[in-house]
Amino acid sequence: MKKILVVATLVVLCCLSTSALAQTKEIRVLLANHPYGDLVKSSIPEFERSTGIRVKVESLQEGQLTTKLTTEFATRSSSVDVFMTRPLQEGKMFYKNGWYEPLSMSFADYPKNVMSVSIFAGKTYIVPLVTEWQVLYYREDLFKKAGVKVPTNFTELEAAARKLNSESVAGLASRGKGAAAVTQLSSYVYNYGGLYLDRGTAAFASKPAVDAIRFYGKMLGNYGPKGVTSMSWENIMPLFQAGKIAMWTDASVFYGQIIDPSKTQVAGGKVGIANFPAGPRMNSPFIVASWGMAVSKQSKNKEQAMRFLQWATSKEMATKGMLANITMARSSVWEDKAVLAKVNPGLVETRAYAAKHGNPLDRPYMSAVGEARDLIGELIIESINTKGASPNLEKMAKEKAAKVNEMLQDSGEFGK
Amino acid sequence: MIRASFAERNLRILFPLPAIIFVALLMIFPVLYTLFLSFTNWNLTSGMPLSFNGVNSYNRVLAEPRFLQAVGRTFEFTFFAVLIESFLGVAIALILNRAFVGKSVAKLLLLLPLVATPIAVGIVFNLFYDPTIGLANYVLKSLGLPQGLWVSSAGSVIPSLILVDVWQWTPMITLIVLAGLAGLSEEPVEAARVDGASEWQILRYVTIPMVMPVILTAVILRLIDALKTFDIIFAMTGGGPGYASETLNIMGFKYSFEYFRMGQSSVILVALFLIVFLCSLGIMKLRASSEI
């Protein structure tokens, strides 16, 4: 009798708690370790208060986020509702596997070239959050001291690097770490008149692209910091902050950190931002939606998920982001006078240029992009190690291009 | 006679049952599933469901020069790391086995690296190793010695990683061998001393042979882990520069989580499993023959 009472009580308690849980609307959100992810995380209590929807949030480093999402979605056991995503790195693969929910909001406030990677077969799946574009960071004080003008093309860039390069300060830094460097090399390739992919086929073995890779290797091999083939932005930034680099070509997102007085030794008006220099054929640096937000197709709380998505990507949140030095994707916040008064004019000018003339891709846009980046990365490392003079570069480029074409065929994207 | 309950009659099965279920689910099943996947063409970038494709994945992976190079690097890293750790570990254990002033402090300091998180160790060593602003080159420069590129050069990346591994894992061998030394009988040593043997002779002909089974046990444990080393290599170089520090485990990770070629990454992992299994078997046979 006692046993029956105990069991009955347990069963009733279980039922009560399950129904209680079912009534509390809760969604699971996965964010990236990124300034915007941090901003959303800190604003979540406000969302919970105004909507009554509880949010369970997790945040991860970008590579680990992709791995976690892929593992959960592939096993069809995911409880993820909303997540941050990189349209260029995983957009195609996630769309192909049917992991994004189609969205039906207005996207009028986003530049067309940035939206192009969020749309598949006429439907939009990703809301762009932040954009970044290639810029040239430079040390105004070193330039003044050496009497050097801000370079506007590659010839001037090389001359400036040569003049500013010394034992203690590298003339020019850019990523050299294989796959990580592919995004920075892209603007060099575009400005030489080349592309990574052209209508679904590998195009980086072309003469313009190989010339760009040679130039990149020549510059970094001669004027780059020591050990540059192991450096991505997280290795170059501390060097720049320590005053060891005169010029650095990378994405616009790092500006806030390189002038943060608590982290840098080159604060106080010493750092300038300029347009990425023009090449022999073009002037088209990349401008990409590096991060976006999407709703999971497997979500069981789509209505609440959509509400969260709309809130997190709203103009109000975008304005908040801009005021925190995060370069947001929405166009209207870049036209808001109150916001512009606080943002660095160099960022505003370079963005305006890139939004009009820039290339919306910074890597081969394909599902197997991880592997393709490693292959192109091999060419970059070969070029840097030989200061751009490698006799094998053309042959290597053809081999890698053939492999990329094979990958495009394997994933059904060849020629598309 | 009172009839025993079902549980009482089957105690010998029921007691180990939780452990057996645990092992089956968390160890045997993943190994078998990985083996199964190695015979498929599962690739998440194709958007197609997985299908059986026989030994095609094996043919593709085993023919890749990159795979054979990764095997070579795995052995290179493991051999030198374990060799240095074994010699150093035993030497330190022999020293710590004697009484001296400050022994407990020395023991504590020498064992500290073992408790540090490998990823954190990797990140900190990366800071030391930075060619421009790192501590290692700063110290070398102040001593007038040539500076190095450490993990930033294909030529020096493996030795630099071995150094980190030796720093962290030598204490493990020391601990195990020290426990072995503490359990040794005093009599053979005393007898040898009485017979006029020198300290070196006692060490070489009495102590070391007696503690050899323990040394080999420590070496097996370290060998298995070193073959699978992932955390410090991933944190420090990610397999770079290029593929210069890519071992089998790193390559398996890349193929799984960067290239999403699940079928082919399973081949790499099956190969790694076999290598670890065969090496362990070899050393265990050696250990069995070393028992006095």
Count of residues for chain A? 416
Chains A–B, number of C-beta pairs less than 8 Å apart: 89
Torsion of CA A64, A67, A69, A73, to 10 degrees: -170
* Chain-centroid distance, C-alpha A256: 16
Instruction: Locate the chain B residue with the closest alpha carbon to A381.
Output: B242
Classify domain A2-131+289-357 at the CATH superfamily level: Periplasmic binding protein-like II (3.40.190.10)
Handedness of CA B270, B273, B279, B285 (dihedral sign): negative
Substitution target from B45, B60, B156 for chain A, most A beta carbons within 10 A: B45
What phi and psi, each to the nearest 5 degrees, are found at residue B161?
-70, -40
Give the whole-angstrom CA distance, residue B255 versus residue A385.
26
Q: What is the value of pTM for the model shown? A: 0.87
Residue-level pLDDT, tens digit, chain A, 416 residues: 677 777 777 777 766 665 555 556 899 999 998 889 989 999 999 999 999 999 999 999 888 899 999 999 988 888 999 999 999 999 999 999 999 999 999 999 998 878 989 999 999 999 999 999 999 999 999 999 999 999 999 999 999 999 999 999 999 999 999 999 999 999 999 999 999 999 999 999 999 999 999 999 999 999 999 999 999 998 999 999 999 999 999 999 888 788 888 888 887 778 999 999 999 999 999 999 999 999 999 999 999 999 999 999 999 999 999 888 788 999 999 889 989 888 888 889 999 899 888 998 999 999 999 999 999 999 999 999 999 999 999 999 999 999 999 999 988 899 98
Name the closest residue on chain B to residue A93, using Cα atoms: B45
Strand partners, A138: A247, A272
**Is the minimum CB–CB distance between A360 and chain B shorter than 8 Å?**
no
- What is the phi-psi region of residue A388: left when phi exceeds 0, alpha when psi lies from -120 to 50, beta otherwise? left
Residue A368: phi and psi, rounded to 5, are -90, 40
Question: Rounded CA gap, A59 and A340, in Å?
Answer: 30
- Identify residues of B whose CB sits under 8 angstroms from chain A CBs: 43-47, 130-133, 149-153, 237, 240-242, 254, 257-261
How far apart CA A235 and CA A201 sit, in angstroms, is 33
What is the rounded distance in angstroms from the CA atom of residue A289 to the CA atom of residue A143? 32
Two tokens, residue B131:
């060619």
Enter the ipTM. 0.85
Q: What is the pLDDT of residue B46?
A: 85
- The rounded radius of gyration (Å) of the Cα atoms in chain A is 24
Q: Best residue in A230, A371, A416 to probe B by mutation, most B CBs within 10 Å?
A: A230
Give CA–CA dist A161/A174, Å, rounded: 12
Minimal Cβ distance to A367: which of B45, B132, B133: B45
pLDDT per position as a tens digit, A258-301? 888 888 888 777 899 999 999 999 999 999 999 999 999 999 99
d(CA B97, CA B189): 14
- Identity of the residue in A178, A235, A368 whose CB atom sits nearest the CB atom of B45: A368
| Residue A74: other Cβ atoms inside 10 A | 15
> Quick one: tokens of B104?
């407990």
**Domain coordinates of chain A in residue numbers?**
2-131+289-357, 132-286+360-410
CB contact under 8 A, B133 and A178: no
Question: Residue written as tokens 């290029």?
Answer: B242
**Which 8-state DSSP code applies to residue A135?**
E
Instruction: Name the residue of chain B whose CA is nearest to A170's CA.
Output: B132
Helix (H) or strand (E) holding A84: strand A82-85
Q: Is A61 on the interface with B (CB under 8 A)?
A: no
Q: Cis ω on the peptide bond leading into residue B131 (within 30° of 0)? A: no
Question: For tokens 């020498």, what's the residue?
Answer: B110
- Topology of domain A132-286+360-410 in CATH is D-Maltodextrin-Binding Protein; domain 2 (3.40.190)
Contact B44 A70 (CB under 8 A): yes
Domain B66-120+169-290, second-level architecture? Orthogonal Bundle (1.10)
- Cα separations (Å) of A266 from A160, A162, A175, A262, B274? 19, 21, 20, 10, 53
- Amino acid identity of A239? L
Check for a shared fold between A2-131+289-357 and A132-286+360-410: yes
Q: Whole-angstrom Cα distance, residue B272 to residue B277?
A: 8
CA distance B57 to chain A (A): 13
| Distance (Å) from the alpha carbon of B240 to chain A's nearest alpha carbon | 7
* Closest by Cα among B18, B24, B30, B2 to B269: B30
- Measuring CA to CA, which residue among B156, B138, B155 is closest to residue B147? B138
